[in-house]
Amino acid sequence: MFTKEAIQFLEDLKNNNATEWMHENKKRYESYKKDYHQLIAEVLGKMKPLDPTLDQLEVKNCTFRINRDIRFSKDKSPYKTNMGIWMTTNRNRKNSAGYYVHYEKGNSFVAGGIWCPEAEDLKKIRKEIAFFHDDLEKVVEDKVFKKEFGAIDVEEGNVLKSAPKGYEANHPAIEFLKLKSFTVSQKIDDKLFLDKDFAQKIAEKLILIKPLNDFLNRGLETEE
C-alpha cells in the first residue's frame, strides 16, 4: 500500500511546484521516495510468481524520475505530481509490452501493452497481427479480459484513417492494423492505493493483460 504521507507529499508538491519548495522539503521527498520504492517492491513481489518473465526486474527498473522534461513543453513546472510503476519483460528494450500503475489524484489507473512503438517495431506487430489475428482476437474476446478492460484503447491521433501501407482495406484484422498503439487501461479509485491488500488486488488486475503482452512481445521478437 501507499502511505497517506506519500499522497500528501504529491498533493503539496502540486500546489508548490517549484525548485525552492522541493529543496526546503528534501526530507519529505526522501521519505516519499522510500515509500514509492517500497510500493514497487510489494507489487513486484506479487507479479513475479504470476509472470516469471519479470523475474529479472528490480525496483530501480520500474521507477520514473520526479523531474519533468520541460525542454519542449509550455508547462515549465519542474516536477511530476503523479506516481508511476512500469514493469516490462525486457527491461533493456526501448519498446516492449508491459504493465503500468498510475497514481494521480482523480485520475488513477492501471494499464498494459505497448504505447506508440517506433516504426520498425510497429511493422513487426502489424505483421504478427496480419498472420495471427485469431490469436489476438482470442485475447481481447476473453470474457474476464473484456469485463475488466473492455477493448484495446483507441486514442485520437493513434489510429490510421485507412489501411497501412502493404495491407488491404478488407483484411479481416484491419481495425487492429490501423492502430499505432496497443494498450488497455482501467481507471481505479485513488483510495485503493491505501488498501493493505493493494499489491495483491493490483496484481490480479494486471495479470489479465499478460496474454496481450505475450502476443505483442512475440511479434517484437520475431526476426524479419
Map out the domains of the chain as residue ranges: 4-221
Using one digit for the tens of pLDDT, what is the confidence trace for 106-164? 999 999 999 999 999 999 999 999 999 999 999 999 999 999 999 999 988 999 999 99
Q: Is the pLDDT of residue 199 over 80?
A: yes
Q: Is the pLDDT of residue 93 over 70?
A: no
pLDDT of residue 92: 59
Q: Is the pLDDT of residue 69 over 90?
A: no
- Fold topology of 4-221: BirA Bifunctional Protein; domain 2 (3.30.930)
pLDDT band at 224 (very low <50, low <70, confident <90, very high): low
Kindly state the average pLDDT of the residues 44-62: 95
- Identify which of 111, 88, 91 has the alpha carbon closest to the alpha carbon of residue 101: 111
Q: 214 with 51: CB under 8 angstroms?
A: no
Q: Is the pLDDT of residue 72 over 90?
A: no
pLDDT of residue 106: 96
Q: Is the pLDDT of residue 70 over 90?
A: no
pLDDT of residue 151: 95
Kindly state the average pLDDT of the residues 36-54: 97
Q: What is the mean pLDDT of the chain?
A: 94
- pTM reported for the whole predicted model: 0.94
| Helix (H) / strand (E) containing 59 | none
Angle at 28 between CA 24 and CA 34, to 5 degrees: 140
Q: Is the pLDDT of residue 165 over 70?
A: yes
Query: Percent of the chain beyond pLDDT 70?
Result: 97
Q: Residues near 2 by Cβ (< 8 Å), separated by ≥ 6? A: 35, 39, 83, 103, 193, 194, 198
Residues in a beta bridge with 186: 110
pLDDT band at 94 (very low <50, low <70, confident <90, very high): low
